[in-house]
Structure 1
Amino acid sequence: MVRPTKTAAADGRNIVRVVKKDPKTVFSDISNNLQRAAVKVSQSTVHRRLHEQKNRGYTRRCKPLISKKNMKARLEFAMKYRDEAQKFWDRVLWTDETKRNLYQSNGKAKVWRKKGSAHDPKHTSSSVKHSGGNIIAWACTASSGMGSLIYIADVTHGGSSKMNSEVSETFCLPI
């Protein structure tokens, strides 16, 4: 004989509804809310109900915070250069940098979601540059191959574009 579940079907739907509304919700909050509604359940029961509905805990994706103005400028750039010949692209040097925090978390957070919904805005967090206590890794690439990986410990003076110029002049030879 199988023991009946502690939660009714409606309770399971309520658990899923709470997680859909706020994917950052933790087990203890859901469990406490149910107990206030006179349904005594453990955190593991909440976990099972979410898994039954195909919800899993994932690390929240981090996407750069891009303004509408920047999105428009990026699209205009892509449209302007989309038909350029290979000879043009052979003379382009692509650069990028990434910041890693030294003394704090890189912002890994868990969210409840279904598979395939990773990029839903409810399931992502924003990243903002230049928050202090970090190291920058800078690299470049061109059609001829990859450049060096450069580590920069202090970017407090002048910001990213000045840093790109100085690193480019120091480590990259003109084509």
Structure 2
Amino acid sequence: MGFKSASTAIIRRNLYELGYHGRAGVRKPFVSEQNRLKRLSWCKERTNWKKEWENVVWSDESKYLLFQNDSHHWIWRKLKEKYDVNCLLPTVKQGSSGIMVWGAFINNKPGPLVIIRENINAKKYREILQEHFLPFYTSLGNENVYIFQDDNAPVHSANIVTDWKTENLIDSLPCPAQSPDLNPIEHIWDYLEKHVRKHEQRLMNLS
């Protein structure tokens, strides 16, 4: 039994009737199977955490591009499949001109926001921790045991940085690789980016 050809309109109508709609695919960072399992294990180990989350100091860097790529790739999916693994578009990091910042917060208390005007390396990161993070961390007092979270990027895990944390009695929260979505500071970066995008036509250079 052979297949009959059908027009695009007929195919589209049939897809609509089956509950599929054309939507821009949500991009996600590539995650290997090994790291996926590590991420799952990390979450399961902290299933019963409640008060502990309030004592985590979350931190990270973020880069705001001067020029954005607004291209979209369309996929066919059902209304509730926006974040289905088969409907996501993998992305990889790429370099581009922009402004980088480092920030931190704990629970509902914002920490420092630092504009990084040079390439960040382990020495620069340690300087940020010493000059900006440590005063904020110290201001929290000693009523609770606070945990500092930064991911396992090379500049964060360099010897001079881990030695600095040890010298200053900073407890760290281990974080699995390829897991920016496990850090709630990403919501803050997303909020800031939306505001930056509103004014991006004014950002002509880094000065």
Classify the TM-score, shorter chain. Answer: 0.5 to 0.7
Deviation, 1:61, is 1.0
- Distance, in Å, in 1 between the alignment partners of 2:17 and 2:67 is 38
What's 2:35 paired with?
Answer: 70
Deviation, 1:105, is 1.3
Q: 1:104 to 1:145 in 2, by over 3 A?
A: closer
Pick one of 91, 101, 104 that aligns with 1:127: 91
Runs of at least 5 residues in structure 2 that lack an aligned partner in the other structure: 141-207
TM-score computed with the length of structure 1 as normaliser: 0.53
Q: 1:108 to 1:150 in 2, by over 3 A?
A: farther
Q: Return structure 1 stretches of 4+ with deviation > 6 angstroms.
A: none
Q: 1:143 to 1:75 in 2, by over 3 A?
A: same
Q: Structure 1 residue 169 and structure 2 residue 143: aligned?
A: no
CA deviation vs aligned residue, 1:39-74 (integer Å, no higher than 9, x gap): 5x4x55554343233221111111222223333443
Percent of aligned positions that are identical:
23
Pick one of 41, 61, 82 that aligns with 2:26: 61
Deviation, 1:170, is 3.5
Q: 1:126 to 1:136 in 2, by over 3 A?
A: farther
CA RMSD of aligned residues (A): 3.7
Count of aligned residue pairs for this structure pair: 134
Larger Rg: 1
CA deviation vs aligned residue, 1:114-144 (integer Å, no higher than 9, x gap): 1112223331112322433344454322135
1:60/1:111 contact within 8 Å kept: yes
Paired residue secondary structure (2:34): helix
Runs of at least 5 residues in structure 1 that lack an aligned partner in the other structure: 1-9, 12-36
TM-score computed with the length of structure 2 as normaliser: 0.47
Paired residue secondary structure (1:132): coil
- Distance, in Å, in 1 between the alignment partners of 2:124 and 2:38 is 22
1:60/1:125 contact within 8 Å kept: yes
Paired residue secondary structure (2:56): coil
CA deviation vs aligned residue, 1:86-126 (integer Å, no higher than 9, x gap): 3x655431113444443351663221111112223331112
What's 1:108 paired with?
Answer: 72
Deviation, 1:77, is 3.8
